[in-house]
Structure 1
């Protein structure tokens, strides 16, 4: 025990603002009492202006950091459908999303503090250098000081690092991993973890050991600074509380990275 390196400081984030009009998804207000960072939708995969204004105001009141959760322009598919967007168009669309959310943040007395890609865009940027570079170009143009949440080992992490951006490695408390360290596609078995015991074990090994267990039992090295709980996962609020309690139980601090 005496040789173990100092335990890390860990951020807890969740996807918020994903309702639209009268349709509600997740319990934004309850999650804001638990998380340290809020990945707020920007209207392309979810989120209407009134919803986003409410979430940014509530986040500002609680001191929760707001991140722009950018995505493909895919409301009907919740940003989870594969799309082939030209690089220049993707850069412009990401700029548009960050700017829109940052405007609402300014009115609420806060700012967009970081960027995270959602759904199909995030998954594609594991391997697609062109899409990753288009995303990096948008952040550099808007504010190169904005950190970017990334999947470890992804093309996005490489492009961000080469461009001098702050790339913050992210792990998932409620998603399955392949032996290659990528996320299990949602259409496949084991993609989403909903059992609190499984989530607690996942977080314990992530924080304490810097590893994650893949769906085939393989142990994968995975050092992360931020842990995500999806706002649309069943029981998300209870899972987020379990994540936070587990981080504290293994001796780490829970603090925002931004």
Structure 2
């Protein structure tokens, strides 16, 4: 039986600003990428999210990003690799402490937003994130875009790598994500998205915005928790995959 993980970016509320419906998402997904306070999230939000993930039996991962609360981590920062590595270690450690108190633990690391996109090709920053994970705990898995400099560096370092596809994002012909600044970059129709993900899982291919079918290998599918209708999208993807005979389960089982 084909198996696939379903993950979501969660814990991204901050103070009185509520983003997404984490409780509802945790009833659907199998892995939770929890913000660590640099691009989003605060201690109370992290605690509630991790505690709820533990209650639902959802695997917890550290969603690390640039130190950019104002920009939600979606702005590239030309940070020195040594500083970036320290930032990533700091974020993992913060979430790991909260997770331990909630009776669970961090099992993987996934970069967020601009950092995720930067380390597709930015070798120095990719190496810095890998160095941080290796220094903190080399048993942690890392999640990233297939073909990225990040996953290549992680493989060389002996880390477990998890290839990720995006349910609610459009793809360019080269397998990268279409910039959020471009029209049509974010998808919203749950039925369309679910059909795309079944095709992806069963055939290893997805249709790019330019019309061609491109190869995309994935071990995990992400639904962004801050997308409009995110819970409905996640449920549609889960139900469609299950109906197609795919087992939806975490990659760390």
The answer to whether TM tops 0.5 is yes
Look up the SS of the partner of 2:93 in the other structure: helix
Residues 145-167 of structure 1 deviation map (CA, whole Å, 9 limit, x = unaligned): 10000100000111011111001
Match of 2:79 in 1: 85
Cα distance between partner residues in 2 of 1:201 and 1:73: 36
What stretches of structure 2 of length at least 5 have no aligned partner? Answer: none
Which structure 2 residues correspond to residues 1-258 of structure 1 after superposition, within 5 A? 7-258=1-252
Cα distance between partner residues in 2 of 1:112 and 1:8: 25
Q: Contact between 1:12 and 1:36, CA under 8 Å: does it hold in 2?
A: yes
Deviation at 1:104, TM superposition (A): 0.1
What is the total number of aligned residue pairs between the two structures? 252
Worse-superposed segment, 199-208 or 234-243: 199-208
Large movers: runs of 4+ above 6 Å: none
Q: Contact between 1:207 and 1:250, CA under 8 Å: does it hold in 2?
A: no
Deviation at 1:247, TM superposition (A): 1.1
What stretches of structure 1 of length at least 5 have no aligned partner? Answer: 1-6
Cα distance between partner residues in 1 of 2:244 and 2:130: 34
Q: TM-score, normalised by structure 2?
A: 0.98
Q: Contact between 2:191 and 2:236, CA under 8 Å: does it hold in 1?
A: no
Cα distance between partner residues in 2 of 1:220 and 1:249: 24
Look up the SS of the partner of 1:13 in the other structure: strand
